[in-house]
Structure 1
Amino acid sequence: MTGFIDLQVNGYAGVDFNDEHVSDQQWLDVCARLTADGVDKILATVITAPIDRMIARIERIAIAMETFPEVARMVAGIHVEGPFISPVAGFVGAHPTAAVMPADVATADRLLDAGRGHVRLLTLAPECDAGARLVRHLSDQGIVVAGGHSDASLDQLQQAVDQGMSLYTHLGNGCPSQLNRHDNIIQRVIRLSDQMYVSLIADGHHVPNFALANYLRCIPHDRVIIVTDAINAAGLGPGKYSLAGQRVEVDPDGAAWAEGRQHFAGCATPMQTMAEILRDQLGVGDELVDRWTRVNPGRLLG
């Protein structure tokens, strides 16, 4: 299967998009490798960091898109994940807590300006965006807004959806391993999944397959999007790597762990492997796999 559209790629095949010094040749090489692995389009993803570093990384991606037709064909835009996310342990995930901040329109505009019109998606925590002001500001400009790394209440999620939020980022991750058994972010998002898309990482690690199967039964099929959350280790196998300057270790099972092995730090599993997991281990038919890995993300991007 080919033609995958992946909305969350932090890096791939040895190239870290969260490094403002990615060379021209690395950009060409990584796009060729993604094509060889069946991927048609990605959103190059920049995660939380000090704002000046985020700006430099976003600008580097935008310049590569404008310089090389090969990059422009592969990179459909930029996904900014953070810095307006929850600073609470567990919800913040692998993002550096010191760089997290409340939603701020002026800061967001600096990130958008760095992207030179190429920022297509921004993930934020709705509880950190008072009155969903930033959600409305972004959605009014045609930018897809996602919730994520969040413990938003049901009312806060609904307010964000009403103001234009149309996606929730990697449900089941970006949250603590221990949650209230009933009133938790997973249940709240599923409750509203008829009103927004929901992305899931289908590597068998971020969400165990049995739990993923449950989510896929609850979320409407036309709202499911599979993302890899790939880092530069994707497609390379076990070893030690980095993500935005953090040490990451990929174990023999393919799970990408942050230092200390307390939580995952991105993913090392290519989209083709996720499609195989969905088909072979969860029994999902080809039509739905195609819908979740190509049709739905393409529809969201427009």
Structure 2
Amino acid sequence: MPNTPSWRIGNLNIVAGGSSFEGEALVENGTITAITPKEKGSSDKDVPVIDGEGGWLLPGFIDVHVHGGYGSDFMDANAEAYDAITKFHASHGTTGMLATTMTNPPEALEAVLQAATAYQEGGMPYAALLGVHLEGPFISEKWAGAQNPAYIQPPHTEWLKRWIVDYPGIIKMMMLAPEKEGALETIEWLTDNGIIAACGHTDALYEDIKRASEVGLRHTIHTFNAMRGLHHREPGTLGAVATIDSISTEIIADGQHVHPAAIELLRRAKPADKLILITDAISAAGLDDGPYSLGGLDVKVEDGIARLREGGNLAGSTLTMINAFRFMLEHTNLTVPQVSQLASGNPARLLGVEERMGSIALGKQADLVWTDANFAIRRTWVQGRTVYEQA
């Protein structure tokens, strides 16, 4: 089919309004203008028609935690790298993402802010870059994980105050360890300036997280991983984020980072709109096993699993959003609409963009994914424009 701004797709299952049904969707000038169940017939609009072949039409995935893919990293801080990353993940159903950084010196982080701002202004030909997620450097030395401990800093707002002036609106989220001195003041400042304050790579006690939530902490980075776990006398970071309803939680659903039973435990604990699928994908995603780099540290990928060469800590993933989606369908009792909420609706709500993306609804931009019946990607659209089509 030609890449036109107006088209319709039918003969497939549409996920919309918390359910799924056979029907047809009409897109005009990049916006969803009609959603018609099969029993109500078909649109008579004179636009190209796509046969969905009994597959699925899903809202595009939104990945709020992704470092790279197909040989490039957001820390590369250039348009060529960002094209490679957004093109690769678009081919796996992602239509929007946050460029996620690593614990690095401030000049390296600022380079990402500058590159991401320029990339947004340059048109973004593939998946949309919705902003930047600063993962560090205000983290716990004890839970550095695959972050470079040489660049860990105590929480402060000195750089941030300058960056929000020089790169307005580009920082969407910042992760830190809430137990560290200066963290509460930083969380309050982030909240006051419209930036999502998240916890991760942290040794926080239950009371640390509780206090942080009272001044604005809203989100948890790769829950279960790189954080103090649950103990029945000290619930720790995990116990706090699982039981404080205002805090949303991320999951890396690849079968390596978190056991399916632990995912189920978190799903039961959290409100339905507070669990979010992410990839935490690194530059190795989409490529063969071998040596890679992450945040200046050497990484070895074997059987698709990325680990630091020194120490063996898990170092991000090679996951894609469609594989996370399939994992949840295979290893939980969630329905397709419920998993879609974790991959699209919930991250859109976290970012405050749910009025225009994250679900299939009238008037929303046509960020859509068409899959076959087995959830293999057939086509991905951003604002109604084809950004990936299966050969």
TM surpasses 0.5? yes
Alignment match of 2:137 (pick from 64, 83, 102): 83
Is 1:16 the counterpart of 2:67 in the alignment?
no
Is 1:139 the counterpart of 2:196 in the alignment?
no
In structure 1, the partner of 2:182 is: 130
Q: How does 1:168-247 map to 2 (within 5 A)?
A: 168-175=220-227, 180=231, 182-183=233-234, 184-192=236-244, 194-247=245-298
What SS does the aligned partner of 1:42 have?
A: strand
Give the Å deviation of 1:101.
1.2
Is 1:162 the counterpart of 2:217 in the alignment?
no
Alignment match of 1:46 (pick from 101, 121, 129): 101
Deviating 4+ runs (over 3 angstroms)? 110-116, 178-182
> Aligned partners of 2:150, 2:310: CA distance in 1, in Å?
18
Moved more, 291-300 or 28-37: 28-37
What SS does the aligned partner of 1:64 have?
A: helix
> Aligned partners of 1:292, 1:182: CA distance in 2, in Å?
31
In structure 2, the partner of 1:296 is: 346
Report which of the two has the higher share of strand: 2
8 Å Cα contact 2:290/2:301 also seen in 1: yes
Amino acid at match of 1:273: N
Q: Taking structure 1 as reference, are residues 49 and 29 closer, same or farther at Cα in structure 2, changes over 3 Å only?
A: closer
Higher relative contact order (CA 8 A, sep 6+): 2
> Aligned partners of 1:235, 1:291: CA distance in 2, in Å?
25
Is 1:118 the counterpart of 2:118 in the alignment?
no
What SS does the aligned partner of 1:216 have?
A: helix
8 Å Cα contact 1:243/1:265 also seen in 2: yes
Amino acid at match of 1:102: P
Residue-by-residue CA offset, 1:107-154 (whole Å, 9 max, x unaligned): 332444564421100011111253711111111111111111112222
> Aligned partners of 1:152, 1:115: CA distance in 2, in Å?
31
Is 1:276 the counterpart of 2:326 in the alignment?
yes
Give the Å deviation of 1:210.
2.3
8 Å Cα contact 1:93/1:175 also seen in 2: no
> Aligned partners of 1:203, 1:39: CA distance in 2, in Å?
16
User: Among the aligned pairs, what percent are the same residue?
Assistant: 31
Give the Å deviation of 1:39.
0.5
Residue-by-residue CA offset, 1:207-260 (whole Å, 9 max, x unaligned): 1222222222222222101111111111224222111222112211x2111113
8 Å Cα contact 2:191/2:197 also seen in 1: yes
In structure 2, the partner of 1:34 is: 89
Q: Taking structure 1 as reference, are residues 261 and 275 closer, same or farther at Cα in structure 2, changes over 3 Å only?
A: farther
> Aligned partners of 1:134, 1:204: CA distance in 2, in Å?
34
- Tell me the TM-score normalised to structure 2 length: 0.71
Number of matched residues?
294
Aligned residues: CA RMSD: 2.0
> Aligned partners of 2:157, 2:292: CA distance in 1, in Å?
34
- Tell me the TM-score normalised to structure 1 length: 0.90
Q: Taking structure 1 as reference, are residues 264 and 188 closer, same or farther at Cα in structure 2, changes over 3 Å only?
A: same
8 Å Cα contact 2:67/2:99 also seen in 1: yes
Q: Taking structure 1 as reference, are residues 182 and 206 closer, same or farther at Cα in structure 2, changes over 3 Å only?
A: farther
Give the Å deviation of 1:280.
1.1
> Aligned partners of 1:96, 1:29: CA distance in 2, in Å?
24
Amino acid at match of 1:238: D
Amino acid at match of 1:93: G
> Aligned partners of 1:226, 1:34: CA distance in 2, in Å?
14
Gaps of at least 5 residues in structure 1 are none
Report which of the two has the higher share of helix: 1
Moved more, 46-55 or 77-86: 46-55
* Rg larger for: 2
Give the Å deviation of 1:174.
1.4
What SS does the aligned partner of 2:284 have?
A: coil
